[in-house]
Amino acid sequence: MRVSLWVSVTLVALLFGWGAWQRRWIADDGLIVLRTVRNLLAGNGPVFNAGERVEANTSTAWSYLMYLGGLVSGAARLEYVALTLALVLSVLGVVLVMLGTARLYAPALRGRQAVLLPAGVLVYIAVPPARDFATSGLENGLVLAYLGLLWWMMVVWGQARRGTPTSRAFDLTLAFVAGLSVLVRPELALIGGLALVMMLIAAKDWRARALIVAAGGLLPVGYQIFRMGYYGLLFPSTALAKEASGAKWQQGFVYLANFNQPYLLWAPAVLLVGLAVMVRLLCGRPVRIDRPRTADAGWLARMVQSPSAVVIFMLLSGFLQAVYWIRQGGDFMHGRVLLTPLFCLLAPVAVIPLMLPDRRRMARGASYLYAGATSLLWLGVVGWSLWAANSNGMGADATRVTYTGIVDERRFYAQATGHAHPLTAADYLDYPRMRAVLVAIQNTPDGALWLPSGNYDTWDVVPAYPPPPDAPPDYRGPQTVFFTNLGMVSMNVGLDVRVIDQIGLANPLAAHTARIEDGRIGHDKNLFPDWAVAEGPFFKEEPYIPAYLDEDWIRQAEAALNCPETVSVLDAIRAPMGPRRFLSNLVHAAEFTRYRIDRVPLYELRRCGLPLPEPVNPPYAGLPPTGP
């Protein structure tokens, strides 16, 4: 059995690693992470733009892991560091989940002849988005490694009451790993939190519970205090920009269908349920716990700390993750956010035991019947996996932004850049407008605001105010780029160039606007560029502004920025950091997180009760009367 397990693990690791390498790339969102890492390495702190404390990365653990990788690698390109870490962690995740499942079956298979075969893990690695996001520069690989490790540790913990008890060091390490969930991704707190609750219920006494709480909560609580004091928010700016607590159920079910339809995921689900039933019949016996007539905390502890409870924990975790993302509306990247719930739901059947016929344990005919049925179901999973692995995915809609707002992100950028494997920021210079913005910045040393024009080869320029008379010869004025694709822009320009977006990932003003209900998922905030002109040291009147901007709107936005509540929110991230600022942010973080502004300057002035500036262009009063 052990030999078959390691053969399966090696084969799956090689297949997944090779498949992920064939689809290697770094996403634009992956480059966003690297901008923060660059600022950390430069001593500017964990920020996207120097002097502006915005947490533009969802995964805190991935950001600091990349920072550590940057320190260790020295002169190596950060893109290659991200690629390597993501790929290694992705493969490690599938290895750990297989080892955890094999450990789950081990007690029942002791003394029996069986072969361990990959099953659920084949389904996961066969789905094209799983291989797409095994690199990508995003935290998906870290999520897989984290979930694989947590699953393996929970299985060991769940078997402790029926086998060798775990040590206190192991239990505290498990609590620490469970507590890390919120730092890997905020919504994973649903998984890590549930694991901690199970551990607290099963703990022997209050001293053990106190140690579990300390081990599981010290780091995440400490970082949460830092986040609130440093950034002035309860969660990352990305969650604020995407309104992570909001609900878009209809769009969520569209996203689920978009993930299921190309691969017919219901088919392997049916086969795996059949395999789970066969495994239960062959090697699983229900755990009977007779509840005493009087209340007994020991009964509850035994029930919670059991293999069956651990399996239920993982299945429930996958279900809760799926419900969360469907409620949230999914994502604009095909399949990405549903990979985590899929991985959790597949974990208990990542590998399955094929019991070899044994007349000592069952009748000869029944023995062959069970083995044959299990083999047929497993071959069905293998056949589907081969078909799905070569699927065309979304087909013709893969690179088109249709009404669903969902695209195959890797294929989209491969097509848009002309690179089969866009890996570095330099590869993204072949994306429309990218080379043009570098030329525009080079040609405007006195500073400007650059806005994307309708022509892919040019940018609209709003010049900055002239430099002061005593400016040094090498003076470079304030430089700001206003564009959706933050990663490719920010990694191709210097850290002295401020890069902001209209959807709020790195733009604090946009992040605090209200969500557009019918907007594209993940892009459903849209701040008008007039605000970017208004809040910067740029000329705000004709002929310096593009024709599509309105001078009155700019003046109204400039006045709206004086709203006292808005000033407080912006001071929280732009005012110099010190003990008083940190404490003030800590106290008001919840208030700042709830705060919203209106994207229309006129309505924002009315909301704040501020006077309307004198209009530059009087409102249209209609045609003058004609005739007598």
- Kindly report, residue by residue over 488-547, the tens digit of the pLDDT: 999 999 999 999 999 999 999 999 999 888 888 888 899 999 999 999 999 999 999 999
Binned at pLDDT 50, 70 and 90, residue 57 comes out as very high
Alpha-carbon dihedral angle through residues 499, 502, 507, 512, given to the nearest 10 degrees: 180
* Ramachandran angles phi, psi of 164, nearest 5°: -75, 120
The pLDDT of residue 48 = 96
The pLDDT of residue 519 = 84
* Ramachandran angles phi, psi of 288, nearest 5°: -95, 125
Q: Quote the mean pLDDT of the chain.
A: 91
Q: How far apart are CA 332 and CA 622, in angstroms?
A: 44
- Kindly report, residue by residue over 109-139, the tens digit of the pLDDT: 887 788 999 999 999 999 999 999 999 999 9
> Where are the chain's structural domains?
1-284+301-390, 432-466+475-608
Residue 495's identity, in one-letter code, is L
Q: Contact 162/385 with Cβ under 8 angstroms?
A: no
Q: How far apart are CA 160 and CA 383, in angstroms?
A: 37
Residue 450 three-state SS: strand
Binned at pLDDT 50, 70 and 90, residue 419 comes out as very high
CA distances from 502 to 95, 499, 511 (A): 40, 11, 8
- Kindly report, residue by residue over 438-455, the tens digit of the pLDDT: 999 999 988 999 999 888
The pLDDT of residue 216 = 96
Q: Which of 157, 169, 259 is nearest to 201 (CA)?
A: 157
Is residue 292 predicted with pLDDT exceeding 80? no
- Kindly report, residue by residue over 261-282, the tens digit of the pLDDT: 999 999 999 999 999 998 887 7
For the chain, what is the radius of gyration of the CA atoms? 28
Residue 245 three-state SS: coil
The pLDDT of residue 564 = 96
Q: Is the dihedral of CA 108, 109, 112, 114 positive or negative?
A: positive
Q: Which of 502, 493, 571 is nearest to 533 (CA)?
A: 502
Q: Contact 160/304 with Cβ under 8 angstroms?
A: no
Binned at pLDDT 50, 70 and 90, residue 467 comes out as confident
Is residue 291 predicted with pLDDT exceeding 50? no
Chain length of the chain: 628
Binned at pLDDT 50, 70 and 90, residue 286 comes out as very low
Residue 480 per-residue DSSP state: E
Cis-peptide into 543, omega within 30 deg? yes
Calculate what percentage of the chain has a pLDDT beyond 90: 78
* Tokens (6 digits) for 500: 């902001």
The pLDDT of residue 111 = 74
* Tokens (6 digits) for 120: 């659920």
Residue 18 three-state SS: helix
Is residue 364 predicted with pLDDT exceeding 80? no
Residue 411's identity, in one-letter code, is R
Q: How far apart are the first and last CA of the chain?
A: 104
**Parallel, antiparallel or unpaired: strands 114-118 and 448-452:** unpaired
- Kindly report, residue by residue over 300-316, the tens digit of the pLDDT: 888 999 999 999 999 99
Q: What is the DSSP string of 107-157?
A: HHHTTS-EEEEE-HHHHHHHSHHHHHTTSBTSTHHHHHHHHHHHHHHHHHH
Does the reported pTM lie above 0.75?
Answer: yes
- Give the Cβ contact number of residue 10 at 10 Å: 11
The pLDDT of residue 288 = 43
The pLDDT of residue 294 = 38
Is residue 295 predicted with pLDDT exceeding 70? no
Helix (H) or strand (E) holding 12: helix 2-22
Is residue 14 predicted with pLDDT exceeding 60? yes
